[in-house]
Amino acid sequence: MARYIFITGGVVSSLGKGLASAALGALLQARGYSVRLRKLDPYLNVDPGTMSPYEHGEVFVTDDGAETDLDLGHYERFTGVAARTTDSISSGRIYSNVLEKERRGDYLGKTIQVIPHVTNEIKDFLEIGGDEVDFMLCEIGGTVGDIEGLPFFEAIRQFAQEKPRGQCIFMHLTLLPWIKASGELKTKPTQHSVKELRSIGLAPDVLVCRSEGPIPDKEREKLALFCNVRQDAVIAAQDLRSIYEAPLAYHREGLDQAVLDAFGISPAPKPNLEKWEDVADRVYNPDGEVRVAIVGKYTQLEDAYKSIAEALTHGGMANRVRVRAEWIDAEIFERDEDVAPLLEGYNAIVVPGGFGERGTEGKIRAAKFARERKVPYLGICLGMQMAVIEAARDLAGLENAGSEEFDHEAGMKRFEPVVYHLKEWVEGNRTVQRTQADDKGGTMRLGAYDAVLTEGSRVAGIYGGCAISERHRHRYEVDIKYRDKLEAAGLSFSGMSPDGRLPEIVEYDDHPWYIGVQFHPELKSKPFAPHPLFRDFVRAALAQSRLV
């Protein structure tokens, strides 16, 4: 049975709990253990699928089609372990399961209560797959003291109590603020946070403290004494220039050792950190730089396109260059007559995924600029649909080309539906049907689907083969009715669903690098295994930078 590590946070949010969990997962792997990482989120949404990226950052999609928290992206990028539906849960999902059971009569007339019914539901979730790995790392979202978080804290307390001794440990992440005026690092907020934890029956074994600088011995002693942890289990988490140094930095601070000590594992297997040394070397010692414009909608919040930013970094690592990604609000291109001055300084352009009409005309103009000026272009999901609409309007003479998505939103018919609402598709050997009237959540083509690439196409060369599987999250689809017209105009449909009905990839043969993909390649990129499309896209950007 797996050993469980519960990761909680205190003092403030956004301390990098997800990253600390992911880095710890990577370190345990480096010592030869198998791991799985999980996120338990106290919010009441059933899943983050319907939350605005402004609120919650990107929605990370798993192979098996779950819409999850972006922390699962960190977990995958650091461990390479593909996340599953059962790696993420929210209070909303827990309560909806409990209420469903209540309606079914599963509780045999009992009064339904947070303890034991909700906590049991959480504990059942924790058990899933517990016999498959050496370590299960479970991160609890939010901070200790949040009202919503209480059932989760209570459930992990019970869980640890019911397991054999030494099967579960608790790691708590806090902040040590630096008071400039007195030149001091303050431990009091951490003490309070641990006190709060202990008042609900949880005692941390490992304390990870975010701080700007190292933790002096005096403060370390104080933390150990007042928080009741061992001194060598007080781990400093200093700000890093790159998140990809986190496994090495945490190892230097002794995090993995402290965790193994807390479990009483001795002697601990030696870690092999070569992979992370290479990753850090590539991030910190680039040989040049390329500039990439990301023309999107949710540009105020970088987390909204987290995986794209990371995948570009990975592409840079593969080419040993730094990728300077800049976010441009697509709506700017709708105001300005000439987009050229705004885009000329970039070596490549990405149009990422998105929903709704706002900003789409600007994205179409960016796609046109890239095509005409022969600047490398990567269109992802909505970005591919924009590239197709651009080609339909400008090259195939379909002036009114557009997406049904925008007509649906506006409640009127204005466009020729080159991109139409997908209501039926094949999943394995069954046909899935969806209608407009379905709930907003769960009406999309979600998760991993196979695609077949045309032999000899640029993408087949990039992937090094013709059979691929990539993750999807979309409702609308390019209509193959327009394929012949578009291909005659120069846009090849070089990737299709295995049944030949759904376009997956489009590209121009007479362009240095112009590819649109209906899926999200960024979700599968890793620092130690950059996604081939991002690797080659950055290579093309580098070639472009040498031309100018």
Query: How is residue 462 written in tokens?
Result: 């990039």
Say if residue 173 carries a ligand binding annotation: no
The residue from 74, 251, 381, 470 that is catalytic is 381
**Closest to 378 in 3D by CA, of 544, 536, 548, 542:** 536
Say if residue 385 carries a ligand binding annotation: yes
Site string for ligand GLN, 245-274 (x = CB under 6 A): ------------------------------
Kindly list the distances between the CA atom of residue 365 and the CA atoms of 56, 260, 332, 387, 418, in Å, as whole numbers in the listed order: 28, 55, 11, 9, 17
Q: Is 396 helix (H, G, I), strand (E, B) or coil?
A: coil
- Which residues inside 342-371 make contact with ligand GLN, applying CB under 6 A? 353-355
Q: Cβ closer to ligand GLN: 247 or 354?
A: 354
Q: Using CB atoms within 10 A of its CB, is residue 543 exposed (0-12), middle (13-18) or buried (19+)?
A: middle
344 is catalytic: no
381 is catalytic: yes
Does 415 bind ligand GLN (CB under 6 A)? Our answer is no
Kindly list the distances between the CA atom of residue 515 and the CA atoms of 328, 350, 371, 463, in Å, as whole numbers in the listed order: 20, 10, 10, 13
Q: Cβ closer to ligand GLN: 58 or 76?
A: 58
Concatenated DSSP letters for 452-465? EEPTTSHHHHHHTS
Does 476 bind ligand GLN (CB under 6 A)? Our answer is yes
Using CA atoms, how far apart are residues 543 and 548, in angstroms rounded to an integer?
Answer: 9
Q: Which of 474, 511, 531, 539 binds ligand GLN (CB under 6 A)?
A: 474
Q: Cβ closer to ligand GLN: 22 or 515?
A: 515
Binding residues for ligand GLN, how many (CB under 6 A)?
10
Site string for ligand GLN, 74-103 (x = CB under 6 A): ------------------------------
Does 475 bind ligand GLN (CB under 6 A)? Our answer is yes
Task: Give the DSSP H/E element, type plus range, for residue 25.
Answer: helix 17-30
Q: Which stretch binds ligand GLN (CB under 6 A): 172-180, 258-266, 407-415, 474-482?
A: 474-482
Using CA atoms, how far apart are residues 264 and 373, in angstroms rounded to an integer?
Answer: 62
520 is catalytic: yes
Q: Which stretch binds ligand GLN (CB under 6 A): 82-90, 304-312, 394-402, 471-479?
A: 471-479
For the CB of residue 296, give the shortest distance to ligand GLN in the complex, in Å. 10
* Contact in structure between 493 and 486 (CB atoms under 8 Å): yes
Say if residue 191 carries a ligand binding annotation: yes
3-state helix vs strand vs coil in the chain, percent to 5: 40, 25, 35
Using CA atoms, how far apart are residues 480 and 503, in angstroms rounded to an integer?
Answer: 7
The residue from 74, 117, 472, 520 that is catalytic is 520
* Contact in structure between 48 and 59 (CB atoms under 8 Å): yes
Does 405 bind ligand GLN (CB under 6 A)? Our answer is yes
Q: Cβ closer to ligand GLN: 7 or 381?
A: 381
Concatenated DSSP letters for 305-339? GHHHHHHHHHHHHHHT-EEEEEEEETTHHHH-S--
For the CB of residue 307, give the shortest distance to ligand GLN in the complex, in Å. 12
Kindly list the distances between the CA atom of residue 39 and the CA atoms of 119, 191, 476, in Å, as whole numbers in the listed order: 16, 25, 30
Q: Cβ closer to ligand GLN: 70 or 382?
A: 382
Binding-site residue numbers for Mg(2+) are 71, 139
Q: Which residues are catalytic?
A: 381, 520, 522
- Binding residues (CB under 6 A) for ligand GLN: these are 353-355, 381-382, 405, 473-476
Q: Please state the residue numbers annotated as binding site for CTP.
A: 13, 146-148, 186-191, 222
Residues annotated within a binding site for UTP: 13, 186-191, 222
Binding positions for L-glutamine are 54, 354, 382-385, 405, 475
